[in-house]
């Protein structure tokens, strides 16, 4: 049975549809523009003729970037940091969260406070910097000259993610664990055979959060990684932006593509991989938001 809409309802619907469409298009537009500008000719970009669709199509800007070894280098560095960083963070977080989820753990309140306090108060940039410098000295003394390992081991741990995991582990029914213990499972077996399989989706969400923060990491990577061969993608993009928007450096620019197109091409290249995997990770994303919203 179709009900007739009341006037107020109709007005609200019209407003919703219009505003949502406008906002969605506004969200999309910068990307479309970036793609168009990255493949448009020099004159079209420099004289501001590109508005929505590309003009005088060229792919030289992309070609120039793909021929740049540093670009591939930075990409592989980012993959390195994301891969090992996520594994290390998950390792630490899962073990810690499992222990914290046990009611029989002594000093449980103290350990919880130990975690939560880091969410409330942070020492700040300068003390952290000095601390990382000390860590770096220790790493170098131990023969690890590759600063990437410093970023992997020392950075990117988040108390919030451990608490998410802990809450998930607390939700696992204790009868199953008791059954495993009766069958002679050790603590590690209980964790790997019972807890991890039973909270797979939370672990995936947390892994995603870690991976994203690694992929996006910029500030500390730029501060602590001294060798430019080891810079991750984000630092590479920023350095390129600083270089290509410097009028003095660009004074003698003469190519079939605009210097702006290089930046846009870089932006497009850094977004595309995420867009490709987005459909697969979307559900964990939404779940993580809900889990993060309500805590005990």
Partner 1 sequence: MTSKAADFLVYDEAAKVYRENPEQAVRDDVEKHSWKHIGLTILKDWRLYLMLVPMLLVFLLWRYLPMYELLGCFKVPDEVKPVADQLFSGFSYFKRLLVGGAGDSMSTEFWRALRNTFLLSFYGLCFGFPMPILLALFFNEIRSNIVRSTCQVLTYLPKFMSTVVMTSLVTMLVKQGSLTSSMGVISQALSGLGLISEEVAMKGLLNNPAFFRAIYQISGVWEGAGYDSIVYFAAIIAISPTSYEAAQIDGAGKMSQMRYVVLPSILSTIVIMLITRIGSLLNVGYEKVLLLYNTNTYQTADVVSTFAQRYGLEGAQKGLAAAAEMMNNVIGMLLVISANTIARKASDTSLY
Among 23, 53, 59, 72, binds partner 1 (CB under 8 A): 23
Cβ of residue 219: shortest distance to partner 1, in angstroms? 5
137 binds partner 1, rule: CB under 8 A: no
Joined together, the tokens standing for residue 72 give 């591939």
Q: How many chain residues touch partner 1 (CB under 8 A)? A: 100
129 binds partner 1, rule: CB under 8 A: yes
Applying the rule CB under 8 A, the residues between 170 and 189 that interact with partner 1 are: 186-188
Among 79, 87, 90, 157, binds partner 1 (CB under 8 A): 157
Applying the rule CB under 8 A, the residues between 42 and 101 that interact with partner 1 are: 45-48, 50-51, 91-93, 95-96, 98-100
> Taking contact as CB under 8 A, which single stretch among the options 66-74, 139-147, 197-205, 242-250 is the one that binds partner 1?
242-250
Q: Measured from the CB atom, is 46 or 146 closer to partner 1? A: 46
Contact code string over 250-269 relative to partner 1, x by CB under 8 A: x--x----xxx--xx-xx--
> Taking contact as CB under 8 A, which single stretch among the options 16-24, 57-65, 175-183, 202-210 is the one that binds partner 1?
16-24
Cβ of residue 237: shortest distance to partner 1, in angstroms? 5
152 binds partner 1, rule: CB under 8 A: no
Cβ of residue 282: shortest distance to partner 1, in angstroms? 8
Joined together, the tokens standing for residue 258 give 């605009």
> Taking contact as CB under 8 A, which single stretch among the options 79-87, 151-159, 169-177, 196-204 is the one that binds partner 1?
151-159
């Amino acid at each position: 049975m179709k009900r007739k809409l009341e006037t107020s309802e109709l007005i609200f619907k019209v407003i919703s549809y219009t505003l949502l469409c406008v906002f969605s298009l506004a969200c999309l537009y910068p990307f479309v523009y970036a793609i168009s500008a990255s493949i448009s000719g020099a004159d079209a970009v420099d004289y501001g003729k590109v508005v929505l669709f590309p003009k005088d199509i060229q792919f030289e800007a992309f070609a120039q970037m793909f021929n740049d070894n540093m670009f591939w280098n930075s990409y592989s560095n980012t993959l390195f940091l994301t891969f090992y960083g996520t594994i290390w963070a998950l390792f630490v977080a899962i073990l810690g969260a499992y222990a914290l989820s046990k009611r029989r753990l002594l000093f449980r309140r103290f350990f919880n406070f130990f975690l939560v306090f880091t969410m409330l108060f942070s020492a700040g940039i300068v003390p952290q910097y000095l601390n990382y410098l000390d860590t770096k000295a220790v790493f170098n003394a131990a023969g690890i000259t590759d600063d990437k390992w410093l970023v992997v081991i020392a950075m990117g741990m988040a108390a919030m993610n451990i608490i998410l995991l802990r809450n998930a582990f607390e939700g696992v029914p204790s009868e199953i664990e008791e059954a495993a213990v009766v069958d002679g499972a050790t603590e590690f077996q209980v964790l790997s055979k019972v807890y991890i399989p039973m909270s797979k989706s939370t672990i995936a969400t947390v892994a995603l959060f870690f991976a994203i923060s690694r992929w996006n990491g910029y500030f500390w990577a730029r501060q602590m990684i001294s060798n430019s061969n080891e810079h991750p993608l984000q630092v590479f993009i920023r350095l390129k932006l600083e270089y290509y928007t410097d009028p003095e450096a660009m004074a003698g620019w003469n190519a079939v593509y605009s210097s702006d197109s290089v930046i846009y091409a870089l932006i497009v290249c850094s977004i595309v991989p995420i867009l490709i995997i987005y459909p697969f990770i979307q559900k964990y994303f939404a779940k993580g938001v809900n889990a993060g919203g309500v805590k005990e």
